[in-house]
């Protein structure tokens, strides 16, 4: 699949230290032999959460270069920066280590991937002025989620490359839309029921349409997905959609959003929770499992990615969150419902 992608012009390969139980980098390293390494830009990520001292930066880099069978990583990211990881990065002066690795030619460009709220994203951009690129979650449903559109524009204004992850929300947008949304997709000249995956191509083009977007990362798990994405990318361009199409996408987003189980907007005013419950994330996942016809992603996030201490069953019903919630969400009740729906025994 990877070599087919490269043979057809895909030239950005994204991996990371923990992916697939630590086997992803090893697989990519094997795949990029026989001359393929020189055909691509290779990106991987420092497991920031595992770094305890500055020398750990080089410990992980050594392992990653051995796995990837390369002496040069083109794009090296601080993985999953949030407020806590950013403070650690500064405290341990890890950017100095990254700059040293760049001077030595071991990495070419320094960036970060991001999972937190927009003010934290702004802080990270302001407190280090030599970032070269960033990686954010962004799609037509997540325009105001985490860094969102505002963060994308800010990064682009500062001259950073913007790498987009989760363009299809972990495959959820690629699933067959609910019946009531089919007419809206048809307004774009697309029939999701015809088997041609036009709604997937349109969702990707929505991203490529925006000049601030440098690269769109699409996770592919089958050869036919590689072929479909290659076809989509060949016709991609900036400025394809007019105002009518953009308005239709806004209507599609609103129609999806109307299927939410709670009115939580993930604003984060309820945080931090005294019991450590990740309230906005849980309620977002709970909404997603009802909105889309693809339950695998929200179930995976709740049961595998979210830490057990952050799950809804740790709620002690203190009520602080409900006092702070600007939407008036009955958070305690919603958390119980979410846990019952999302927990895999």
DSSP structure string for 127-143: H-TT--EEEEE--TT-T
Q: What is the mean pLDDT of residues 300-325?
A: 95
Same domain as 308, residue 223: no
Q: Say how far residue 186 (Cα) sits from the centre of its chain.
A: 28
* 114 lies in the same domain as 216: yes
User: How far is it, in rounded angstroms, from Cα 135 to Cα 127?
Assistant: 17
Residue 220 lies in a domain: yes
Same domain, 204 and 294: no
For the cut 90, the answer to whether the pLDDT of residue 106 exceeds it is yes
Tens of pLDDT, residues 188-237: 999 999 988 999 999 999 999 999 999 999 989 899 999 999 999 999 99
Closest among 309, 306, 315, 312 to 338, alpha carbons compared: 312
Percent of the chain scored above 70 by pLDDT? 100
Residue 273 lies in a domain: no
pLDDT given for residue 327 in this prediction: 83
Same domain, 203 and 296: no
Looking at the 3D structure of the chain, how many domains does it have?
Answer: 2
d(CA 226, CA 242): 28
Mean local confidence (pLDDT), 121-143: 97
Does one domain contain both 216 and 293? no
pLDDT band at 171 (very low <50, low <70, confident <90, very high): confident
d(CA 165, CA 233): 15
CATH number assigned to the domain comprising residue 69: 3.20.20.100
pLDDT of residue 291: 87
Asked whether residue 96 falls in the same domain as residue 190, the answer is yes
- Give the span between the Cα atoms of 62 and 24, in whole angstroms: 16
Lowest mean pLDDT segment, chosen from 24-33, 265-274, 280-289 = 265-274
Mark whether 154 and 35 lie in a shared domain.
yes
Quick one: 201 and 296 in the same domain?
no
3-state secondary structure of 264: coil
Span 75-95, pLDDT tens digits: 999 999 999 999 999 999 999
pLDDT interval class at 267 (50, 70, 90): confident
pLDDT at 290 over 90: no
pLDDT (average), residues 246-264 = 93
Q: What is the pLDDT of residues 94-105, one digit of tens each?
A: 999 999 999 999
Return d(Cα 138, Cα 213) in angstroms, integer. 10
Q: What is the pLDDT of residues 51-63, one digit of tens each?
A: 999 999 999 999 9
Q: How does residue 266 score in pLDDT terms, banded at 50, 70 and 90?
A: confident
- pTM of the full predicted structure? 0.87
Report cis status (omega within 30 of 0) of the bond before 259.
Answer: no
**How far is it, in rounded angstroms, from Cα 200 to Cα 216?**
13
Res 142: pLDDT: 92
**pLDDT on residue 255:** 94
Residues 215 and 138 in one domain: yes
At 9 the pLDDT is 95
The stretch 17-40 carries a mean pLDDT of: 96
* 48 in a structural domain: yes
**Block residue for tokens 């997937």:** 200
The pLDDT of residue 172 = 86
CA–CA dist 28, 32 (Å, integer): 6
> 76: part of which helix (H) or strand (E)?
strand 73-81
Each residue of 16-25: pLDDT tens digit? 999 988 999 9
Looking at the structure, do residues 26 and 93 belong to the same domain, yes or no?
yes
- Print the domain residue range for 294: 279-342
- Residue 256 inside a domain? The answer is no
The pair of structure tokens assigned to 343 is: 């927990």
pLDDT at 333 over 80: yes
How confident is the model at residue 315, as a pLDDT? Answer: 97
The set of residues, in sequence order, having a beta carbon less than 8 Å from that of 190 and lying 6+ positions away, is: 198, 199, 202
């Amino acid at each position: 699949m990877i070599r087919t992608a490269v043979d057809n012009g895909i030239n950005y390969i994204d991996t990371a230290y923990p992916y697939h139980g630590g086997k992803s980098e090893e697989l990519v390293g094997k795949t990029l032999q026989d001359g393929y390494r020189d055909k691509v830009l290779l990106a991987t990520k420092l497991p920031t959460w595992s770094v305890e001292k500055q020398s750990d930066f080089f410990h992980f880099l050594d392992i990653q270069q051995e796995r990837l069978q390369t002496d040069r990583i083109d794009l090296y990211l601080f993985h999953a920066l949030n407020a806590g990881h950013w403070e650690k990065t500064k405290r341990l002066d890890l950017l100095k280590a990254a700059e040293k690795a760049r001077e030595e030619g071991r990495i070419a460009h320094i960036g970060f991937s991001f999972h937190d709220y927009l003010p934290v994203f702004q802080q990270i951009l302001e407190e280090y002025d030599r970032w070269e690129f960033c990686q954010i979650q962004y799609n037509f449903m997540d325009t105001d989620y985490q860094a969102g559109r505002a963060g994308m524009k800010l990064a682009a204004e500062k001259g950073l490359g913007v790498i987009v992850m989760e363009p299809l929300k972990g495959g959820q947008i690629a699933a067959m839309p609910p019946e009531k949304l089919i007419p809206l997709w048809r307004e774009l000249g697309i029939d999701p029921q015809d088997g041609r995956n036009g709604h997937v191509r349109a969702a990707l083009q929505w991203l490529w349409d925006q000049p601030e977007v440098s690269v769109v990362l699409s996770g592919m798990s089958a050869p036919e997905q590689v072929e479909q994405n290659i076809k989509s990318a060949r016709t991609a361009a900036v400025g394809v959609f007019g105002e009518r199409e953009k308005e239709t996408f806004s209507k599609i987003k609103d129609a999806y959003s109307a299927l939410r189980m709670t009115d939580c907007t993930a604003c984060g005013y309820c945080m931090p929770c005294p019991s450590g419950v990740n309230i906005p994330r849980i309620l977002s996942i709970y909404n997603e499992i009802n909105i889309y016809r693809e339950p695998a992603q929200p179930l995976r996030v709740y049961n595998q990615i979210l830490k057990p201490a952050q799950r809804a069953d740790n709620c002690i019903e203190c009520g602080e969150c409900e006092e702070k919630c600007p939407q008036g969400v009955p958070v305690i009740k919603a958390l119980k419902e979410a846990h019952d729906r999302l927990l895999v025994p």
